[in-house]
Amino acid sequence: MLGRPMKPSKCQECRDRAAWLDMFTALALAVFKTALGVLSGSMALQAHSLHSFGDFLTKGINLASVKLSSRPANSAFPYGYGKVQFLSANFIGISLMAGAAAMLWYNVTHLGSGHVQVPEVWAVFGALISAGTAELMHRYLRCVAEHTNSPAIMAAAADNRGDAYSSLAVLAGIVLSILGWVAADHLAAILVSLLVLRIGAVIAWDSIHGLMDGSVPSHRIDGIRQLLAAHHPGVSVVDLRGRRMGETWEVDLQLSISSQVTVEECHALTRELESRIAREEPHACHIRIRFIPQSGDATKTAVIETAAAVDEFAYLVEASAALRPLGHSRNGG
Protein backbone atom coordinates (compact mmCIF):
# COMPACT_ATOMS: atom_id res chain seq x y z
CA MET A 1 0.00 0.00 0.00
CA LEU A 2 1.36 3.36 -0.99
CA GLY A 3 0.07 6.57 0.52
CA ARG A 4 -0.89 9.50 -1.69
CA PRO A 5 -0.73 13.24 -0.98
CA MET A 6 -3.38 14.34 1.46
CA LYS A 7 -4.89 17.28 -0.40
CA PRO A 8 -4.03 19.74 -3.15
CA SER A 9 -2.73 23.02 -1.74
CA LYS A 10 -5.74 24.93 -3.08
CA CYS A 11 -8.10 22.70 -1.08
CA GLN A 12 -6.10 23.34 2.08
CA GLU A 13 -6.12 27.09 1.44
CA CYS A 14 -9.87 27.07 0.87
CA ARG A 15 -10.45 25.06 4.06
CA ASP A 16 -8.22 27.36 6.15
CA ARG A 17 -9.87 30.47 4.73
CA ALA A 18 -13.31 29.06 5.56
CA ALA A 19 -12.28 28.38 9.17
CA TRP A 20 -10.94 31.93 9.60
CA LEU A 21 -14.05 33.49 8.08
CA ASP A 22 -16.33 31.36 10.22
CA MET A 23 -14.55 32.34 13.43
CA PHE A 24 -14.61 36.09 12.83
CA THR A 25 -18.19 36.01 11.56
CA ALA A 26 -19.18 34.39 14.87
CA LEU A 27 -17.38 37.16 16.77
CA ALA A 28 -19.04 39.91 14.72
CA LEU A 29 -22.49 38.39 15.25
CA ALA A 30 -21.87 37.98 18.98
CA VAL A 31 -20.95 41.66 19.43
CA PHE A 32 -23.83 42.80 17.21
CA LYS A 33 -26.49 40.70 18.97
CA THR A 34 -25.22 41.60 22.44
CA ALA A 35 -25.43 45.32 21.74
CA LEU A 36 -28.81 45.10 20.05
CA GLY A 37 -30.19 42.72 22.65
CA VAL A 38 -29.26 45.03 25.53
CA LEU A 39 -30.54 48.16 23.76
CA SER A 40 -33.81 46.55 22.68
CA GLY A 41 -34.43 44.57 25.86
CA SER A 42 -34.80 41.23 24.02
CA MET A 43 -33.88 38.33 26.29
CA ALA A 44 -33.94 35.91 23.36
CA LEU A 45 -31.44 38.03 21.42
CA GLN A 46 -29.18 38.35 24.47
CA ALA A 47 -29.30 34.60 25.04
CA HIS A 48 -28.48 34.03 21.39
CA SER A 49 -25.49 36.37 21.66
CA LEU A 50 -24.06 34.20 24.45
CA HIS A 51 -24.28 31.26 22.10
CA SER A 52 -22.41 33.27 19.44
CA PHE A 53 -19.61 34.13 21.88
CA GLY A 54 -19.31 30.43 22.67
CA ASP A 55 -19.19 29.78 18.94
CA PHE A 56 -16.29 32.18 18.57
CA LEU A 57 -14.25 30.36 21.21
CA THR A 58 -14.99 26.86 19.91
CA LYS A 59 -14.32 27.90 16.32
CA GLY A 60 -10.93 29.19 17.37
CA ILE A 61 -10.19 25.65 18.51
CA ASN A 62 -11.69 24.39 15.27
CA LEU A 63 -9.26 26.57 13.30
CA ALA A 64 -6.32 25.24 15.30
CA SER A 65 -7.38 21.66 14.56
CA VAL A 66 -7.68 22.38 10.84
CA LYS A 67 -4.15 23.81 10.85
CA LEU A 68 -2.76 20.87 12.84
CA SER A 69 -4.42 18.29 10.58
CA SER A 70 -2.54 19.78 7.60
CA ARG A 71 0.82 18.75 9.03
CA PRO A 72 2.54 15.98 7.06
CA ALA A 73 2.75 12.47 8.43
CA ASN A 74 5.86 11.44 10.36
CA SER A 75 7.25 8.45 12.21
CA ALA A 76 5.15 9.21 15.29
CA PHE A 77 1.93 9.64 13.29
CA PRO A 78 2.45 7.68 10.05
CA TYR A 79 -1.15 8.25 8.96
CA GLY A 80 -1.10 11.98 9.63
CA TYR A 81 -3.05 14.17 12.04
CA GLY A 82 -6.47 13.93 10.40
CA LYS A 83 -8.31 12.62 13.45
CA VAL A 84 -7.59 15.78 15.41
CA GLN A 85 -10.55 17.24 13.53
CA PHE A 86 -12.81 14.69 15.19
CA LEU A 87 -11.53 15.93 18.56
CA SER A 88 -12.31 19.49 17.54
CA ALA A 89 -15.79 18.56 16.35
CA ASN A 90 -16.41 16.73 19.63
CA PHE A 91 -15.40 19.81 21.62
CA ILE A 92 -17.73 21.96 19.52
CA GLY A 93 -20.61 19.57 20.14
CA ILE A 94 -20.05 19.40 23.89
CA SER A 95 -19.65 23.18 24.12
CA LEU A 96 -22.91 23.71 22.24
CA MET A 97 -24.72 21.37 24.63
CA ALA A 98 -23.25 23.12 27.68
CA GLY A 99 -24.17 26.57 26.37
CA ALA A 100 -27.67 25.42 25.45
CA ALA A 101 -28.22 23.97 28.92
CA ALA A 102 -27.17 27.29 30.50
CA MET A 103 -29.48 29.25 28.17
CA LEU A 104 -32.34 26.90 28.98
CA TRP A 105 -31.91 27.25 32.74
CA TYR A 106 -31.58 31.06 32.52
CA ASN A 107 -34.78 31.56 30.57
CA VAL A 108 -36.86 29.01 32.47
CA THR A 109 -35.98 30.65 35.80
CA HIS A 110 -36.72 34.16 34.51
CA LEU A 111 -40.00 33.09 32.98
CA GLY A 112 -41.00 31.36 36.20
CA SER A 113 -40.20 34.43 38.30
CA GLY A 114 -42.26 36.71 36.06
CA HIS A 115 -39.30 38.92 35.06
CA VAL A 116 -40.38 39.49 31.48
CA GLN A 117 -40.38 42.57 29.27
CA VAL A 118 -41.42 43.49 25.75
CA PRO A 119 -38.43 44.08 23.42
CA GLU A 120 -38.13 47.12 21.18
CA VAL A 121 -39.07 46.82 17.52
CA TRP A 122 -35.49 47.11 16.20
CA ALA A 123 -34.70 43.74 17.75
CA VAL A 124 -36.56 42.31 14.74
CA PHE A 125 -33.85 43.58 12.39
CA GLY A 126 -31.15 42.04 14.56
CA ALA A 127 -32.78 38.62 14.35
CA LEU A 128 -33.21 38.93 10.57
CA ILE A 129 -29.57 39.88 10.02
CA SER A 130 -28.43 37.05 12.30
CA ALA A 131 -30.55 34.46 10.46
CA GLY A 132 -29.43 35.59 7.01
CA THR A 133 -25.73 35.69 7.90
CA ALA A 134 -25.82 32.26 9.56
CA GLU A 135 -27.56 30.67 6.59
CA LEU A 136 -25.05 32.13 4.12
CA MET A 137 -22.18 30.84 6.26
CA HIS A 138 -23.81 27.41 6.45
CA ARG A 139 -24.03 27.10 2.67
CA TYR A 140 -20.48 28.29 2.14
CA LEU A 141 -18.99 26.02 4.81
CA ARG A 142 -20.99 23.01 3.66
CA CYS A 143 -19.67 23.48 0.13
CA VAL A 144 -16.09 23.63 1.45
CA ALA A 145 -16.63 20.61 3.71
CA GLU A 146 -18.05 18.48 0.90
CA HIS A 147 -15.05 19.22 -1.32
CA THR A 148 -12.40 18.73 1.39
CA ASN A 149 -14.18 16.01 3.43
CA SER A 150 -13.34 17.96 6.60
CA PRO A 151 -15.25 16.81 9.73
CA ALA A 152 -14.39 20.06 11.53
CA ILE A 153 -15.70 22.29 8.74
CA MET A 154 -18.81 20.12 8.37
CA ALA A 155 -19.45 20.50 12.11
CA ALA A 156 -19.08 24.27 11.75
CA ALA A 157 -21.55 24.22 8.84
CA ALA A 158 -24.10 22.33 10.94
CA ASP A 159 -23.55 24.80 13.76
CA ASN A 160 -24.34 27.72 11.44
CA ARG A 161 -27.51 26.03 10.17
CA GLY A 162 -28.58 25.68 13.80
CA ASP A 163 -27.84 29.38 14.30
CA ALA A 164 -30.05 30.24 11.33
CA TYR A 165 -32.97 28.20 12.64
CA SER A 166 -32.59 29.51 16.16
CA SER A 167 -32.44 33.09 14.85
CA LEU A 168 -35.80 32.51 13.17
CA ALA A 169 -37.17 31.26 16.49
CA VAL A 170 -35.82 34.40 18.15
CA LEU A 171 -37.47 36.50 15.43
CA ALA A 172 -40.83 34.81 16.00
CA GLY A 173 -40.57 35.32 19.75
CA ILE A 174 -39.72 39.00 19.38
CA VAL A 175 -42.59 39.65 16.96
CA LEU A 176 -45.14 37.79 19.11
CA SER A 177 -43.92 39.59 22.22
CA ILE A 178 -44.32 42.99 20.52
CA LEU A 179 -47.82 41.99 19.36
CA GLY A 180 -48.91 41.28 22.92
CA TRP A 181 -47.73 37.83 23.99
CA VAL A 182 -45.13 39.08 26.45
CA ALA A 183 -43.73 35.65 27.37
CA ALA A 184 -43.04 34.75 23.72
CA ASP A 185 -39.53 36.24 23.79
CA HIS A 186 -38.51 33.93 26.63
CA LEU A 187 -40.30 30.95 25.11
CA ALA A 188 -38.36 31.54 21.90
CA ALA A 189 -35.13 31.54 23.88
CA ILE A 190 -36.13 28.19 25.44
CA LEU A 191 -36.88 26.76 22.00
CA VAL A 192 -33.49 28.00 20.78
CA SER A 193 -31.81 26.23 23.69
CA LEU A 194 -33.48 22.90 22.90
CA LEU A 195 -32.58 23.18 19.21
CA VAL A 196 -28.94 23.98 19.93
CA LEU A 197 -28.81 21.12 22.45
CA ARG A 198 -29.90 18.67 19.75
CA ILE A 199 -27.40 20.00 17.20
CA GLY A 200 -24.58 19.70 19.73
CA ALA A 201 -25.53 16.10 20.50
CA VAL A 202 -25.50 15.16 16.79
CA ILE A 203 -22.08 16.77 16.24
CA ALA A 204 -20.61 15.11 19.35
CA TRP A 205 -21.92 11.67 18.38
CA ASP A 206 -20.60 11.89 14.82
CA SER A 207 -17.15 12.86 16.10
CA ILE A 208 -17.14 9.92 18.53
CA HIS A 209 -18.05 7.66 15.62
CA GLY A 210 -15.01 8.95 13.72
CA LEU A 211 -12.65 8.61 16.69
CA MET A 212 -13.74 4.99 17.12
CA ASP A 213 -12.72 4.17 13.52
CA GLY A 214 -16.24 4.50 12.18
CA SER A 215 -16.84 3.01 8.77
CA VAL A 216 -16.68 4.88 5.51
CA PRO A 217 -20.28 5.54 4.28
CA SER A 218 -21.75 2.24 3.09
CA HIS A 219 -22.69 3.57 -0.35
CA ARG A 220 -19.02 4.45 -0.95
CA ILE A 221 -17.96 0.92 0.00
CA ASP A 222 -20.60 -0.48 -2.35
CA GLY A 223 -19.29 1.82 -5.08
CA ILE A 224 -15.77 0.39 -4.73
CA ARG A 225 -17.18 -3.14 -4.81
CA GLN A 226 -19.10 -2.37 -8.01
CA LEU A 227 -16.00 -0.78 -9.51
CA LEU A 228 -13.98 -3.94 -8.95
CA ALA A 229 -16.75 -6.14 -10.34
CA ALA A 230 -17.07 -4.03 -13.49
CA HIS A 231 -13.38 -3.72 -14.37
CA HIS A 232 -11.85 -6.85 -12.83
CA PRO A 233 -14.35 -9.72 -13.11
CA GLY A 234 -11.61 -12.29 -12.52
CA VAL A 235 -10.95 -10.94 -9.04
CA SER A 236 -13.30 -11.93 -6.22
CA VAL A 237 -13.77 -9.61 -3.25
CA VAL A 238 -13.40 -11.62 -0.05
CA ASP A 239 -13.45 -8.66 2.32
CA LEU A 240 -13.80 -4.90 1.77
CA ARG A 241 -13.90 -2.32 4.52
CA GLY A 242 -12.89 1.24 5.20
CA ARG A 243 -12.50 3.61 8.12
CA ARG A 244 -12.55 7.37 8.47
CA MET A 245 -9.26 9.07 9.35
CA GLY A 246 -10.37 12.68 9.43
CA GLU A 247 -10.48 14.06 5.91
CA THR A 248 -9.07 10.86 4.42
CA TRP A 249 -10.12 7.23 4.39
CA GLU A 250 -8.31 3.95 4.76
CA VAL A 251 -9.61 1.21 2.46
CA ASP A 252 -8.66 -2.41 3.16
CA LEU A 253 -9.31 -5.04 0.48
CA GLN A 254 -8.85 -8.80 0.58
CA LEU A 255 -9.08 -10.28 -2.89
CA SER A 256 -9.13 -13.83 -4.20
CA ILE A 257 -7.08 -14.53 -7.35
CA SER A 258 -5.82 -17.53 -9.26
CA SER A 259 -2.64 -19.15 -8.01
CA GLN A 260 -1.30 -18.95 -11.57
CA VAL A 261 -0.83 -15.18 -11.26
CA THR A 262 2.86 -14.24 -11.26
CA VAL A 263 4.60 -11.74 -9.01
CA GLU A 264 4.82 -9.22 -11.84
CA GLU A 265 1.13 -9.60 -12.71
CA CYS A 266 0.13 -9.31 -9.06
CA HIS A 267 2.23 -6.18 -8.64
CA ALA A 268 0.74 -4.59 -11.78
CA LEU A 269 -2.78 -5.47 -10.63
CA THR A 270 -2.14 -3.86 -7.25
CA ARG A 271 -1.01 -0.61 -8.85
CA GLU A 272 -3.94 -0.64 -11.27
CA LEU A 273 -6.47 -1.19 -8.48
CA GLU A 274 -4.94 1.53 -6.32
CA SER A 275 -5.00 4.00 -9.19
CA ARG A 276 -8.58 3.19 -10.20
CA ILE A 277 -9.95 3.39 -6.65
CA ALA A 278 -8.07 6.64 -6.01
CA ARG A 279 -9.60 8.22 -9.13
CA GLU A 280 -13.12 7.24 -8.14
CA GLU A 281 -12.73 7.99 -4.42
CA PRO A 282 -10.24 10.87 -3.98
CA HIS A 283 -10.53 10.73 -0.18
CA ALA A 284 -9.17 7.16 -0.14
CA CYS A 285 -5.56 8.08 0.60
CA HIS A 286 -4.63 4.79 2.31
CA ILE A 287 -5.34 1.75 0.15
CA ARG A 288 -4.15 -1.64 1.34
CA ILE A 289 -4.64 -4.73 -0.84
CA ARG A 290 -4.08 -8.36 0.19
CA PHE A 291 -4.38 -11.44 -2.00
CA ILE A 292 -5.47 -14.96 -1.07
CA PRO A 293 -5.73 -18.06 -3.32
CA GLN A 294 -9.01 -19.00 -4.89
CA SER A 295 -10.80 -21.94 -3.35
CA GLY A 296 -9.74 -25.27 -4.81
CA ASP A 297 -6.36 -24.14 -6.16
CA ALA A 298 -3.61 -26.67 -5.59
CA THR A 299 -0.61 -24.38 -5.30
CA LYS A 300 -1.80 -22.09 -2.55
CA THR A 301 1.68 -21.52 -1.22
CA ALA A 302 2.77 -19.86 -4.44
CA VAL A 303 -0.05 -17.35 -4.22
CA ILE A 304 0.65 -16.55 -0.59
CA GLU A 305 4.32 -16.00 -1.36
CA THR A 306 3.37 -13.81 -4.32
CA ALA A 307 1.13 -11.66 -2.15
CA ALA A 308 3.81 -11.37 0.51
CA ALA A 309 6.39 -10.37 -2.08
CA VAL A 310 4.15 -7.64 -3.47
CA ASP A 311 3.39 -6.33 0.01
CA GLU A 312 7.08 -6.30 0.92
CA PHE A 313 7.97 -4.52 -2.30
CA ALA A 314 5.38 -1.79 -1.65
CA TYR A 315 6.67 -1.36 1.86
CA LEU A 316 10.32 -1.03 0.80
CA VAL A 317 9.52 1.45 -1.97
CA GLU A 318 7.59 3.67 0.41
CA ALA A 319 10.01 3.47 3.32
CA SER A 320 13.19 3.98 1.32
CA ALA A 321 12.54 7.19 -0.59
CA ALA A 322 9.74 8.91 1.34
CA LEU A 323 8.24 9.92 -1.97
CA ARG A 324 4.82 10.53 -0.43
CA PRO A 325 3.88 12.13 2.87
CA LEU A 326 1.66 9.37 4.23
CA GLY A 327 3.40 6.39 5.83
CA HIS A 328 2.78 2.66 5.74
CA SER A 329 1.96 0.39 8.64
CA ARG A 330 2.57 -3.30 8.22
CA ASN A 331 0.14 -4.02 11.05
CA GLY A 332 -2.75 -1.97 9.74
CA GLY A 333 -2.32 0.98 12.09
Domains in the chain (CATH in brackets) are 9-211 (1.20.1510.10), 218-321 (3.30.70.1350)
Distance CA 237, CA 4 (A): 23
Distance CA 189, CA 78 (A): 47
Lowest-pLDDT choice from 32-46, 158-172, 220-234, 304-318 = 304-318
**C-beta of residue 111 within 8 angstroms of C-beta of residue 184:** no
pLDDT band at 295 (very low <50, low <70, confident <90, very high): low
pLDDT band at 247 (very low <50, low <70, confident <90, very high): low
Q: Find, among 287, 289, 283, the residue nearest to 246 by Cα.
A: 283
Please tell me the predicted confidence (pLDDT) of residue 128: 93
pLDDT tens, position by position, 148-175: 877 778 888 988 988 888 888 888 888 9
Buried b (16+ CB within 10 A) or exposed e, 58-77: bbebbbebbeebbeebeeeb
Please tell me the predicted confidence (pLDDT) of residue 25: 92
Mean pLDDT of the chain: 75
Above 60 in pLDDT, residue 134? yes
% of residues, the chain, pLDDT over 70: 80
